[in-house]
Structure 1
Amino acid sequence: MKLFKNSFPFLFIFLLCFCTQNSYAIQQPADSLLYYYPIINQPTNHTDLSDAFTYFEKKRKESLREKDTLNAIFYARYVAEVQNKLGFLYESEVTTIEALKLLDLAGGKDTLIEPRIGLYNHLGMLCRQRHDYDKALYYYNNSLNIAITEEHRYAVWNNMANVYKDQRKYDKAIVELEKVYGYAIQSKNDIILSRSLNNLGVVQAKLGLSEGLSNMEKALALRKKINYIPGIITSYTHLIDYYLDNGRREKAAALAEEARKVAYSSNNPKWRSHVLSRIIDLKEDPDVLAFKKYTDSVSNADLMQRNKYISAKYNFEAQERRARESELQRVKERSRRIVFQFVLLFIILISFLVYRYLRIRQKRKILQEVSASEARISRKMHDEIANDMYRVMTNLQTRHQLSGEILDDLDDIYSRTRDISREIQTPESGKDYADILKGLLLQFRTEKVNIILNGLSGISWDSVKEDKKRMLYKILQELMVNMRKHSEASVVLLQFRRSGKNVLVEYKDNGKGCDLGKGSGLTNAETRMKLVGGTISFVSEPGEGFRAKIII
C-alpha cells in the first residue's frame, strides 16, 4: 500500500489559495485537482458536476489499480460529494461506505482520523437529506467519539445543530451552535464566524430571542465585507424567512430583490434558482403559489422514489453479491473437505503401507534369525555330533570285535544325523546359487530314484533377492525330503524357467501321491512363501503322484 505523497498536505494550501483567488483557478488545466475542486461548490454550467465526477472517479480507479489506498479514499470522498450534489444519494452513500472499508483495510485508525471523520460526516448529511435523523446523529456521534481537535468537533457540532433544527428541537440546536460560535471566535476566520453567527441567529429567532435578528444581520454584513457570495445568499434567504414568519412581506420582498442582484451577478445557476424560488414564495397569486408547491412536491416525490429505486437496486445487487460470496465460500469449504479427505485417505494408505512394510520386515527378520539358527545347528550337528559319532565307530571297529548288527546301528545313527544336518542346512552366500541348488537336489539321487533337472543353469540368479533364494532352497529341500520319506517315487522332474520378472519352478514325481487335506506341513510352506512375496501351490491325489508349482 502506498501512502500519500509527501507533497499531499500542501494540496490543501493550494486549494485554499484557489478559493480566494478565482483568477488563478481559471488558468489551471482542465485535468487537474485544482481545476475540479472548486467546481464542486461553485458549478458555472450544467456539465461542471458531471465533468468533475468523471475526473474524480477516474482518479479513484487509477489509485485502486495502483493499490494506492489512501489516495483512493481521498478521491472517493470527492466522488461521493459530487454524487450527492447531483441527487444520487444512495450512490453517494455506497461510495462513502466503500471508502470506509478501504480505510479499515489501510489500518492506522489512530493516524487516519481526519478522513474517517469526513466520511462519517458525509454519511450523516446524506441521512439528514433522507430525513433519517436518528441515523444522521448516529454518524455524527461516531465522528465526535474519534475527534481530537476543536476543528474536527466544530464541523460535527454544526451538522448536529442542523439536524436538531430540522426536527424543530431548537433548544438542543442552540446548545450545539453556542459551542460552534465559541470556536469561531477563536478561529479568527470570517467565513466560519459569519456562518456560526447566522445559524445561531436563525435558531435564536425561532426561540423568540431578540438577539436572533441582530446576529443574522451581523453575519450578512460580515459576508458582504469579505464578498462571500454563497454566504450572502444564504443570509438573505434566512432573513426573508424571518420577515415572512413575522408578517413583514414588504421587507422580505426588498431583501429578495437584493438577493436576486447578487445571484444574477454570479454564474451559478443553483443560486439563481434558489433566489427565484424565494421570490415566487412572496407572490400573492394563488395559482403561482399552488403551482410552485405542486412542482416542489412532485420533484421531491420523484427524488425520493428514485432514491428508493436505487436503494432497492443496490440492496438487490448487494444480496446477489453476498449470495455469490456465500456460494464461493461453500465451494471453498467443499474443496477443503475434499482435500482433507484426500489427505486423510493418503495418511491412512501410507500408514497401512508402513504397517505392512514393518510387519513384513519383522517377519523377514524372524525368518533370517531362524535360518541363522538352523545353519548354526546344522554346522554344530555336522561338525561335532556326526564327526564324533564317526570317530567312535572307527575306534570301536579297530579295538573291539563288535557284531555287525551294532556297527550297522551306529552307521544308521550317523547317516540320520547327517541327513538332519542337511535338512536344516541353508545355502552359503557368495557361491554360485545354481551350483548350490544343483548339489542339494542331486544328493537325493539314488539307484532307485532318478532326479532330472531342466533349465536350472539358464536362470540369472543374481537378479533374485537373497531372502527369496534362501526360501526357495528351504522349500525344495523339504519337497525332496518328503519325497524320499513318503512318496516311493522313482522319477522326480524339476523344471526351472522365467515368468516375467519371477522365477517359476515346477516339481513333479511319480510317487504314490497323498491327500492334501491332511497335515499342516503344506500350509506352513505356503505361509513362509508369502513372507518373501512368493506363492506355492500343490496338486496330488492318492496313486497320482505329487506336483508343486512355485513362483518366486
Structure 2
Amino acid sequence: MVFRKLYFLIYILLLLLFLVFQSCEKKLQNNTQRKQDLTEINNLLAIGHKHFENEKLDSSYYYYNKAKIAAELKKDTSRIIHSIGWMAEVQRILADYSGSEATAVMALPFIENTDKYPNGKWNIYNTLGNNYLSTFDNDNALYYFNKALNLKTDAIEKAGMKNNIALVYMKQEKYQDAIQILSPLILRKEVLDDAEAYSRILDNLGYCYYKAGSPKAFDYLNQSIKISIQKKNDRGLIGSYYNLFEYYKKSNLNLATHYANLAYEKAAKVNQVDDRLECLALLIQNSPGNKSKYFSILYLKINDSIYKVRLKAKNQFAKIRYDSSKEKNENLKLKAQTILQQEQQHNRNLLLYFVVGIIITMSIVVGNFLVAKNKREKIKSSYNTEIRIAKKLHDELANDVYQTMAFAETQDLSSFQKKEILLNNLDTIYSRTRNISKENSTIETGPLFVSNLKEMMSGFNNNDVNVLVNGIDTINWTTLESNKKITVYRVFQELLVNMKKHSQCSLVVLTFKKNENKLQIDYSDNGIGATFDENKSRNGLQNVENRILAMKGNITFDTQANKGFKVNITFPL
C-alpha cells in the first residue's frame, strides 16, 4: 500500500511538471500576441465611443460589435462585457427595448456568480433597469437597479442608481418613498461636486414635493434650472422645463405652456425625439385651435419619421450581427487550419500519449479502489441494518409475542371479552411489525414522496403525543434531488424515533419553508429536553447531524433539561 501511494505521487508530479513546462512555453509564445490583441480591441472600442459621442449610433454599434467579436476570439471577458453593455445602450437610446434587453442578457453568463467586473456589471444592470423602466415593468426595473446599487462601485455611481430607484417610485406614484431616497443625496459631497447629477436630483426631488403637495417644490425646481442654465446643460433643462409645466398647468396655463415650449425647443436642439414628442403632446392639449392643429401635424410627422429611422436602425443592427458572425466563423476556420499545420510535433505527441496512458492507468486503479471501498461500505451498512432490525424485533416484538402466546394458552378464548383482548394484542403486534418494515424499506422519491412522508410522521401520533406539520405543501418537492428526499425522510424518522424514546413530550411541531434557494426545516417539542452526554439520545442525533452535513447543510440543536428540544436544519435545494 505504501508503494502504491508513492507511485501515485510520482505520477502526479510528472503530470504537473509537464503541464507547467507546456504552460510556460505557451505564455512565452503568446505574450507579444496578447498585447497586440488588446491594442486592437481597445482601438475598436475607442472608435465606437467616438461615434457614440457624435451621436452616430449605427456606426458606434458597428464598432462595439467588432470589439465584442475580437474579445470573444481572445476570451477577454472584461472587454466582452464592456462591448455588450455599450451595444445594449445604443439600442436602448433608439427605443429598441426588446433588442437592448436581448443584447444585455448575453452578458449575464459572464457576470453572474462572480465578484469580478463590477463596472461591467453596473453597466449591464443599469441598462436592463432603464429598459424595464421605459416599458413600465417597474418590478424588474427595481430588481436590476438594486443589483447595481449593491455592487462595489464609486460613490457617484451609487448616487445615480439611487436616483434611478427613486424614478421607479415616481412612476409608481410613491412620492414619499422617492423623497426619502432623494433628500439625503443632495447633501452628499460627491453629488454636490457633480453639477449635472446635483441638478438632476434637485429636479426629481422638486417634482416629488409638487406631487406630494409640499411648498418646497418650486425652490428645488428653480434651483435645478439655474444650475442647468449656468452649466449649459440643455438635456437637463428639458426635464426641468417639463416639470415646471406640470407645476403651473393648474394655476397658470399660459406660464405652463411657455415652459412646454421651452422644453420642446431644448429637445429639438439636442435632437431628443422622444422628449420632443412628449412636449408636443403637452402643447396639443394646452394650445388654442390653430396652434393645436399645427402641433398635431408636427407630432404626426416626427413620429412617422422616427419610426422609420428606428426600424431601419433595428434592421441595420441585425445585418451587422449577421455579417460579423459570418466573418467570425471564417476567421475561426482560418485559425483552425493554421493550428492544424503547427501541431505536427512528433516528440510532444509521444509525450502526450505517455501521459494519457499514465492517467488512464491511474484512473483504472483509483476506480477499482473506489468500487471496492463502496462495496465494503455497503456490506457494512447492510450488516448494521440487520443488527438494528434484529434488536428492534427483540426489544419491541419478542415480549409482546410471548405474552400473547401465554394469554392464548391460559385464557378461555370462547369468551367474547378474552377473544377481543387477543385480537387487539395481535393487531398491536401487526402494527409494530408493519412500522419496522416501513422504517427499513426503500423510500419512494417520486410523486408519492410527500404522502409517504406525511404518513410516516402521522404514525407517531397517538393519545399521548400530537404531531403538527406546517408548510410541507408549500415546498416544490419535485425539484429536490432523490438523495435529498431520502435524507429528509430518514432525518425526521430519526428525530421522531428519538422523541418517542426519550422526550416524554405531548406536542411536536414540524415546520417547512423555502428561504431563497434553501430549504429550512424546524423541529420542536415540549418534552424534557436532553443533554448530549446521554449516549442513548446522542447516537440517533449524531446520525441526523451526519446526514445533513453530508449534503452541505447546517444543523443546530437547542435543548435544555425540562425546556423542550429544538432542531433547526437548512440545506441547499
Into which bin does the TM-score normalised by the smaller protein fall? 0.3 to 0.5
TM-score, with normalisation over the residues of structure 1? Answer: 0.44
Normalising by structure 2, what TM-score? 0.42
